[in-house]
Amino acid sequence: MRYLMQKPILAIGIIMMGLFLYQVARDQKWGIFHNEKLIATSCKGALVKIQKQIPENWKTFCEGNNLAVEINELGVPPEATNLRSLMYRQLANHMAFVARISHTDILEKVDFVRFRLDHPKMVINAVTEGKYIVKLATLESPEHIMTHLKTTVQVKEDIK
């Protein structure tokens, strides 16, 4: 301690080096200064309630402030003749289920909600904004649901 009192420039240099390392560690997300769990996002708030009520074949997680839902589809038989229409119906049902079980005011603030339905013969990827998926909780007419989904959801399908 006496040595640092005699050399104040060294003490200031050590303090400045510590501050520099702290800022770099926080910005680059390494070390003990960064913990992803402590950063609050709307996605994490929505995820708390959703994870309590989802089936076992679902996997949900956050990608920043985006909610990702991956579903291993078990409800559609692999030998179905109208596989495409059944998969799209399941996608609409799953989106409405997520809208009903989550807090609407929190889910509105989620940037994007991404769904991935995996089936042995087909994969469907769908993306929509959180503010649009919330409206599925109140729509009851199949025509209104279909129109809403056509205008707000972007879908990509891959056939295996």
- Per-residue pLDDT band for 32 (boundaries 50, 70, 90) equals low
* Same-domain pairing of 75 and 140: yes
* Same-domain pairing of 11 and 74: no
* Same-domain pairing of 43 and 29: no
- Of 83, 71, 91, the residue nearest 146 (C-alpha): 91
Number of domains in the chain: 2
* Same-domain pairing of 75 and 24: no
Taking only the tens place, the pLDDT of each residue in 70-82 is: 999 888 888 888 9
Q: Are 135 and 102 in contact (CB under 8 A)?
A: no
* Same-domain pairing of 48 and 113: yes
* Same-domain pairing of 14 and 77: no
Residue 117 domain boundaries: 39-159
Q: What global pTM score does this model have?
A: 0.77
The pLDDT of residue 35 is 66
* Same-domain pairing of 12 and 55: no
Stretch 48-59: mean pLDDT: 93
Residue 63's contacts (CB-CB under 8 Å, 6 or more residues apart) are 43, 114
Q: Are 124 and 91 in contact (CB under 8 A)?
A: yes
